[in-house]
Structure 1
Amino acid sequence: MSTQTSTSTKPRLPRWMTAFGPQVIAALFVGVALGLVAKATGSTTDDPNALGQTLQIIGSSYVSLLRTAVIPLIFFAIIASIANLAQVSNAARLAWKTLLWFAITALIAVVIGITLGTVFQPGVGTGQETPAGYDGSTGSWLGFLQGLIPSNFLGLDVSANYSADDGSVSTRVNFNVLQIIVIAIAVGIAVLKLGSAAEPFLSFSRSVLAIIQKVLWWIIRLAPIGTIGLLGNATATYGWDTIGALGKYTAAIYVGLALVLFLVYPVLLKINGLSFRKYFAGAWPAIQLAFVSRSSIGTLPLSQRVTERNLGVPSGYASFAVPLGATTKMDGCAAIYPAISAIFVAQFFNVDLSLIHYLLIVLVSVVGSAATAGTTGATVMLTLTLTTVGLPLEGVALLLAVDPILDMGRTAVNVAGQILVPTLVAKREGILDEDKYNAANPLDPFADEDSETPEAAASETGSADDDKELVDTRS
């Protein structure tokens, strides 16, 4: 009994002090304040003082951690996504149509992102110079095509630099991201074709992916500390006037998200003979939870349930398409966001983008979204896009500063797209239960599975506990 009393009387910190979102928001203010102090005390880019140097080290270290995890994540996420097709019995056509619609909607979203980036020009007028050592070129189109062919299994590129000052030789190892994507796709298809013979490798790949995702989650949990360093260093380096350009950038992102969610998706539904009002009525619980939780993976149980029970997608197909979409279908994180972000970084650092740069942004957004993984997709996709296009990664320091504000809208659009595509494919293939889709009132997604009507579902006693369980899955 004494143990229970001790446990019940143990003081707890308020939720706003322990929750991830408030921590990051608080870190924004702390970072700006420390950056302004560093700048006011004479810290410069070339000669930072102690505070400026500390902020610089914290920010650069956090970016390095993120960059380290990108390569294995890309490789194993793509393999696992392709291999998951084997779990759908006699559904090769459904799988192909699902992937095709993933690509179509991602292409539409990234084109909207590029258009808004060029129209809004959120990074123009900052007065920043191109970082030293950046050449801004990606080579010719033929060079790009040739670069897709892996020169070795790991897509490694090793270069050596000789310093005439002290006679030292430094070696640098780079990964060719596009080559790794090509390798991962080939390996994933081979695993799919081999079937049971490749099961040990597939189990290993899934285990490694789970480990990488766990490590990435730990890195993301350090975001408040990283945010202080990144935004503090950015403020000390560029000044508050320059940081103010992020307001225009944020507006451009949300305009793009709104266009996809409330214009593109309704048009696609209308073209396929479906009511967009019924779609939003059925999918809204998941979209709403995604906005609050900022996690596609955390919303996955609810996303799958509303797809099946409210929108009438068959369970066997939904159980494949929705989980696959939770890691590979991200119109917010992997299309709108990287497109506008890449253009912002280029404009901010006064880098001219060519047609090849824009084509690379499209390619990475449509193909590279398989590398995004639920809770960490946007940050990984941002790093992946800037690396592939060859833009300065210093831009990460600026864009992560407003990431929590953007992440809510991005995740809501992600989940809406993950529910939309299975619904469209099911309708086109004639397997959609349109009576469920067009029901006068959608079923309560938190109610017991046996409930057959909205009225019966609403009366189930376990709904509140189910609601709590689902909400607690957020990142």
Structure 2
Amino acid sequence: MSTTTTARKARAKRPFYASFGFQVIAALVVGIALGLLARQLGATAENPNPLFTTLDTIGSSYVTILRAAVVPLVFTAIVASISNLRRVQNAARLAGQTLLWFAITAFISVVIGIALGLVIRPGERAGGDLEAAEPGHVGTWWDFLIGLVPQNFLGLGVSGGVDPETGAFSGSVSFNILQIIVVSVVVGLAALRAGRKAEPFLAFTESLLRVILRVVWWIIRIAPIGTLGLIGAAVVKYGWERLTSLAWFAGAIYIGLALVFFVVYPLLVKFHGLSVKQYFSGVWPATQFGFVSRSSLGTLPLTQRVAERNFGVPREYASFAVPFGSTTKMDGCAAIYPAIAAIFVAQFFNIELSFIQYVLIALVSVVGSAATAGTTGATVMLTLTLSTLGLPLEGVGLLLAIDPILDMGRTAVNVTGQAIIPAIVAKREGILDLDLYNAPREGLPFQDEDEDESEAVSDAEATGTAEPVAAR
């Protein structure tokens, strides 16, 4: 009996509570209960108690760990994948198909957003006690163009200073994921052009990628702990009472997100001859964690694993499509949300939008989502949309109070699209592993994730016995 068969039988006997999905859902329930308990004990974001502080520390620490893995993962994955371009036929065609389907789904999403805004008319139903606050950052096309230019080798930035009283230095390191991708592509292409002389560098990069992927897997396995802290802290910080004045707006957003997740994506999956059931069960680990983490970048390692392990997207292609999608494929933040929010602002201020302005909403959403990379996501995209339409930017402040609540759903849809579009493109190009896509999940977050099987895959790749990827 093969090692793979033995591993499958062993994991089939695992109790239900060993299932990753069950653990995350249980963590969500416990986190909500602890968050409600902390609020009952008088905790608020401004007046924390020990329970809230503990939950917040657990959640923020987990997101920090995830973000720490993003930079080395993206850099090594892209450089390694570019070095493998010689194994991929029609690489340019794959890239073009990816961009095309990103644009198609963004257009469908923004049309749904516009339709919901016109039907529900949330701006006319908003409560009269809304107060505007200044947006923290205003997105512009100029910011996007400048953001493409790397400030240093990996687009890293350091901010901080010295406390005048204690003399201690405090600071933080930030990164621009779009700049990291630009640098990674340039380094990868340069290594290809260098030929044989770059072989030691490429070998080291591929080995480093294998190590990073193993570390990422360990981080993913403790996701239930991070989930408990994240959702518990969110209940205390934001609560659901903030939805009172903007209930219709929040409802329109979540209806739009649900239509994309439960209707648009499944229809695309079915249209391409893939199982809808496998789509839901396969993408769920990334979707549920995107919901609680509110970070496409923080969820990037998980999204890439979903695309590769559950959907059967070749690693050489997934390492391009998923990181790129994490900055530009945002059907929640950059399509549905800005469309409904722009219509909300116009209705709230009694401004009649013309047909051309609706066309502009669609245009900005389809081609402008990359402007959110390395910035503040949906808020920047909304200010970019409003400034393009000539609508008052004060409208952004009306929506800031409930933005974190909406961001959970937006990010869940974002990461779902970032995982499923590479699968659709791979299916169209004949390089999708259908056996892996259709394999039973058996309670694990990813297919073939047992240690023996992972090592077997690694050994096959290292020895060159793995099948080369070829697009039709």
| TM-score, normalisation: structure 1 | 0.61
Q: 234, 253, 256: which is aligned to 2:257?
A: 253
Matches within 5 A, 1:68-467: 68-88=68-88, 91=89, 94-117=90-113, 135-138=136-139, 140-161=140-161, 170-242=170-242, 251-257=255-261, 260-261=264-265, 276=271, 279-280=272-273, 287=279, 290=282, 297=305, 300=308, 322-329=314-321, 334=326, 338-341=330-333, 358=365, 362-363=369-370, 413-414=420-421, 416-423=423-430
Structure 1 residue 399: deviation in Å?
A: 7.4
Long gaps (5+) in structure 2? 1-11, 287-302, 346-359, 384-398, 451-472
Alpha-carbon separation, structure 2, partners of 1:468 and 1:342:
33
Alpha-carbon separation, structure 2, partners of 1:226 and 1:325:
29
Alpha-carbon separation, structure 2, partners of 1:217 and 1:238:
31
Report the aligned-residue RMSD. 5.3
Contact 1:157 1:175 in 2 (8 A): yes
Letter in 1 for 2:448: T
Letter in 2 for 1:31: G
Letter in 1 for 2:370: L
Q: Helix, strand or coil for the counterpart of 1:173?
A: strand
Structure 1 residue 104: deviation in Å?
A: 0.8
Alpha-carbon separation, structure 1, partners of 2:105 and 2:57:
35
Whether 2:27 is the aligned partner of 1:52: answer: no
Contact 1:56 1:229 in 2 (8 A): yes
Long gaps (5+) in structure 1? 1-11, 267-275, 305-320, 369-381, 427-443, 447-462
Contact 2:309 2:448 in 1 (8 A): no
Structure 1 residue 252: deviation in Å?
A: 2.9
Structure 1 residue 79: deviation in Å?
A: 1.5
Contact 2:79 2:188 in 1 (8 A): yes
The answer for the alignment partner of 2:470 in structure 1 is none
Contact 1:160 1:171 in 2 (8 A): yes
How many aligned residue pairs are there? Answer: 379
Letter in 1 for 2:229: G
Structure 1 residue 34: deviation in Å?
A: 0.9
Letter in 1 for 2:138: S
Q: Helix, strand or coil for the counterpart of 1:135?
A: coil
The change in CA–CA distance for 1:13 and 1:385 in structure 2 (over 3 A counts) is farther
Letter in 2 for 1:137: V
Alpha-carbon separation, structure 2, partners of 1:81 and 1:22:
34
Structure 1 residue 214: deviation in Å?
A: 2.1
Alpha-carbon separation, structure 2, partners of 1:408 and 1:156:
24
Name whichever of 321-330 and 63-72 sits farther off.
Answer: 321-330
Structure 1 residue 290: deviation in Å?
A: 2.9
Name whichever of 17-26 and 334-343 sits farther off.
Answer: 334-343
Question: For residues 108-147 of structure 1, what are the alpha-carbon distances to aligned partners after superposition, in whole Å with 9 as ceiling and x for unaligned?
Answer: 2233344445655799979998999x72224x43343233
Matched-pair identity in %: 31
Structure number with the bigger relative contact order (C-alpha 8 A, sep ≥ 6) is 2
Alpha-carbon separation, structure 2, partners of 1:69 and 1:395:
29
Contact 1:227 1:400 in 2 (8 A): no
Question: For residues 149-186 of structure 1, what are the alpha-carbon distances to aligned partners after superposition, in whole Å with 9 as ceiling and x for unaligned?
Answer: 22322323334446667676644433233222211111
The change in CA–CA distance for 1:252 and 1:81 in structure 2 (over 3 A counts) is farther
Structure 1 residue 232: deviation in Å?
A: 0.9
Larger Rg: 1
Alpha-carbon separation, structure 2, partners of 1:50 and 1:467:
38
